[in-house]
Each structure stands twice: as C-alpha cells, then as structure tokens.
Amino acid sequence: MDRRDFLKNTVAGGVGLGMLGAAGGAQAAQGPAPGGKVPRRQLGATGADVPILLMGGTQKFDDRYDKTLHRAFELGVDYIDTAREYAQGQAQKTIGTFMKQVGDRKKMWVTSKATLVGADATPEGFRTGVDQCLEGLETDYLDMFFMHMITDERLFGPDFIRTSEELKKAGKIRFFGFSCHDGNSAELMAAAAKMGGGVDAIMFRYNFREYGDVALNKAIDACKAAGIGLIAMKTQASVPADLDAVVEFRSQDFTLGQAKLKAVWADERIDAAVSAMTNVNLVTENTAAAMSPVKLSMNEFMQLNRLAALTAHAHCLGCKQRCEPRANGLRIADTLRYLMYHECYGETDEARALYRALPRKARDFKAIDLSEATAACPQGIRIAERLAQARHVLTA
Ligand code: SF4
C-alpha cells in the first residue's frame, strides 16, 4: 500500500493517527476533531453565514433515517442544496423527512431549484416552481431559490426579480439566484453583477481546472464587488479514477479529493463549495478537510495543475459555445456530461435516461464532420471518439 492509498484508507477507516506528519495534516486525514464544526463564511451580502461545505442533495436519501445527512448536520453542514427535478422528485421528499427529524426548520438552510424552459420560463413558471419545491420538501419557505442551469439572462431579468421580491414578501423564499453549468457562465455572472442588485447568490462550476480562465475570474471579481454570494460546484472536476491516479498525488496532509476542495476554499472570493456526499466516509473526509487549518502547499497546487493538464482530454469544461456551433445541432457538452455520470459517478441508469431524452438530431453524429469542433476544443478532447463511447455505453 503506498502513502496515497494509506491516507485514503485511513480516512475511510478512521484509523492510523499520529503517523502522518504535521498535526493538522493528521487531523485532516483521519477525520474531523471531536466536537468540531465546519467553518462558516458570509454568503455575499445576504447577511447570513453558511458552512464552507454544503451538502449536495441530488440523490434519494434513506427516508427512514439517513446517516449521511445526520452526520453531516452534526458536523456543521446545515445547508442542503437540492432541486425539484433531482431523483424524479424523490430527493426533495427524503430531505423533507430529514428536516422533520431535525425538528427545527430554522436550524437548517434549504436551497431548492427548478429548471424553467420553454413555456415554463415565465414569472408564472417561477411561482409554480417555488410552490412545487415547497410542496416537495413539505416546508413553508426556501432559504434560497435558484433558477436551475440557466443559459439565458432573461431568467434573472426585471420580471423575474420583481417576482422574486413578491415571493420574498410572501415569505416563500428568503433569497434568490441562479445556477449555471455551461457555456456562458462568465457572461451570466458578469450580467448579474452589472444589475446592481436582485441576484443574491450564484452557484457555478469552479475547480482547479479553471484557475486560468480570465473571463470567469473577471466575472467572479465583479460578483464579489456586487455583493453576490458565490457557491462553487463540480469541485472534483471528475475524470475516471484511473486517470485521476496518473499524477500519483502525494501529500502529508490531504487525499486528492480533499486537496481539490482545499484548492477552491483557498480562493477567498468563494463563499462555499457544494459536494454530493453520498456516504458517511465522504462526509468524514470532506468535513475534515474543511476543518483543517493546514493550507495547500505550493507542491500540492502544482500537482493539481499537472493533473489538470494531463487529464484535460478526458474532462469537458462545458464551454459548448466553442464546439457546438461547428457541430450541426449536436449537444456535445450534454452528451459528455452524461458520459461523465456513467464513468465517474457510476450513475449509469440516470445517464442513459438523460441520453435517451436528447433529440435524435442532438446525438446522431455519424454524418457530421467534427474536425472543426475538435480543433476548437481547449481541452484537446477527441470529440468524435468520445461521442462514439457515449453512444456505446449509454444506449446499451
Ligand atoms: S468538448 Fe471541448 S469545446 Fe466542447 S464543451 Fe467540452 S471542453 Fe468545451
């Protein structure tokens, strides 16, 4: 067993104390200190503080007693992020059960989201989305409502801000914002910052692969200056496990997963990072990293940079504005995201369902010349090859 495996197994098993160098490092590797809580930061100009680590609620939890949610809550992760659509509505339902078990709504922060597209992308659809989230969670109010996965700034335009103010006055939501995964995130964030109010927080893709993105950094600066809370998602920037291992990440203090989170928290413009913690071991690992006072060393940052460079060809950044205009209607970024769900998260059924739901024109690449799209890809992804892999595993 090498040192890296040893650190990982130590986290998973909660053993092996005192053998790992500096005290802070040993603490991070073995788990959170007894009685410790995840530190908190102010969420933009909301006046609220939130833990720097947030519980991602994409899955259906155990609706009898979910150990993962309860353990995270005990350790200070009292913010849960979910959405109307997650697990076909089951995620909200099981989080509702957990909220009842906690017993005091005010001790928790619950964010939910709804994807508004087509005829639903109206203020009325917004109101309906909020009501459906409240009903799904069986609660009276949301601490935050996010327009989910938006690509159109109209969804935080004057009509929607007016509606959000009405919903706030009615006590249905406390704060309003949006989440954005793909393509034009930097533009959307810059536009929200320019409005000078109305958007309380934004959740966006941010990880060690994106440090050098100039437009994104400018948008982050602008949001920070405008008092918009910033929540990072997709912090692990996943590639399949064998590729993640190419760098043989070595650290006295952190596992690779912990280091990726620390890299995000090292950026003080970011208020919190959301993580879909699917088991208690992951809660132990992530909360330990959040509580550790040890900062990432230059050497650890360099290893992450190297990992980003060596695995770029297997990680789609979602910048679809670069490739898709050259791909005759293909939905390349969505397809590669679904492939990632299968390859990295093992969520094959979900990935297949999403892939099947794409219109045929959006996934049938056989007669399309993808050379220009491939040349435009900053990650050097061999697009035709990856789309073929996606078709192979997601239509089986
Ligand atoms: S395939 Fe490349 S260009 Fe297209 S979205 Fe992914 S990273 Fe961006």
Cβ contacts of residue 42 below 8 Å, gap of 6+? 48, 49, 229, 271
pLDDT (0 to 100) of residue 34: 82
Say how many residues make up the chain.
396
299 Cβ contact list (under 8 Å, min separation 6)? none
* pLDDT score at 14: 36
Beta-ladder partners of 146:
113, 177
Both tokens of 141, joined, read 């109010």
Which residues does the chain have with pLDDT short of 70?
1-30
What are 38's two structure tokens? Answer: 């995840």
Q: What class is the 35-307 domain?
A: alpha beta
- With beta carbons less than 8 A apart as the criterion, state whether 239 and 314 touch: yes
Domain residue spans in the chain?
Answer: 35-307, 316-394
Q: Please, are residues 182 and 318 in contact by the beta-carbon 8 Å criterion?
A: yes
Q: What is the pLDDT of residue 29?
A: 58
Is any atom of ligand 1 closer than 6 Å to the C-beta of 382?
A: no
Q: Which of 205, 339, 377 to mutate to test the pocket of ligand 1 (most atoms within 8 A of CB)?
A: 377
Distance 252 CA to ligand 1 centre (A): 34
For ligand 1, mutation pick of 213, 316, 374, 383 (most atoms within 8 Å of CB): 316
Name residue 79's beta-bridge partners: 109
272 CA from centroid of ligand 1 (Å): 26
What per-residue confidence (pLDDT) applies to 30?
Answer: 65
Q: Which helix (H) or strand (E) holds 266?
A: none
User: What pLDDT was estimated at residue 39?
Assistant: 97
Query: In a mutational test of the pocket of ligand 1, which residue from 335, 383, 386 has the highest number of ligand atoms less than 8 Å from its CB?
Result: 383
Cβ-count burial 356-392 (b if 16+ within 10 Å, e if not) = eebeeebbebeebebeebbebbebebebbebbebbbe
319 lines ligand 1 (CB under 6 A): yes
Which among 185, 332, 368, 389 is the best mutation to test ligand 1's pocket, defined by most ligand atoms within 8 Å of the CB?
332
If you measure from the C-alpha of residue 83 to the centroid of ligand 1, how many angstroms do you get, rounded to a whole number?
Answer: 26
Determine the pLDDT at residue 35. Answer: 85
pLDDT in the model for residue 25: 45
How much is the pLDDT for 26?
46
Determine whether the shortest distance from the Cβ of 322 to ligand 1 is under 6 A.
Answer: yes
- pLDDT for res 58: 87
User: What is the rounded distance in angstroms from the CA atom of residue 316 to the CA atom of residue 177?
Assistant: 25
How would you classify residue 119: left for phi > 0, otherwise alpha for psi between -120 and 50, otherwise beta?
alpha
**pTM score > 0.85 for this model?**
yes
> What is each CA distance from 55 to 34, 91, 287, 320, in whole angstroms?
20, 12, 11, 28
What's the CA-to-centroid distance between 379 and ligand 1, angstroms? 7
Cα(17)–Cα(103) distance, integer angstroms: 36
What is the 84 CA–ligand 1 centroid distance (Å)?
Answer: 28
pLDDT one-digit tens code per residue, 21-41: 333 444 465 678 888 999 999
What are the DSSP calls for 140-178, one per residue? S-EEEEEE-S---GGGGSHHHHHHHHHHHHTTSEEEEEE
Q: How far is the CA of 82 from the centre of ligand 1 (A)?
A: 26
Can you tell me the distance from the alpha carbon of 137 to that of 151, in angstroms, rounded to the nearest whole number? Answer: 26
Task: Establish whether residue 316 lines the binding site of ligand 1, counting it when its CB lies within 6 angstroms of any ligand atom.
Answer: yes
Question: Quick check: CB of 256 below 6 Å from ligand 1?
Answer: no
Sign (positive/negative) of CA torsion 294, 296, 299, 300? positive
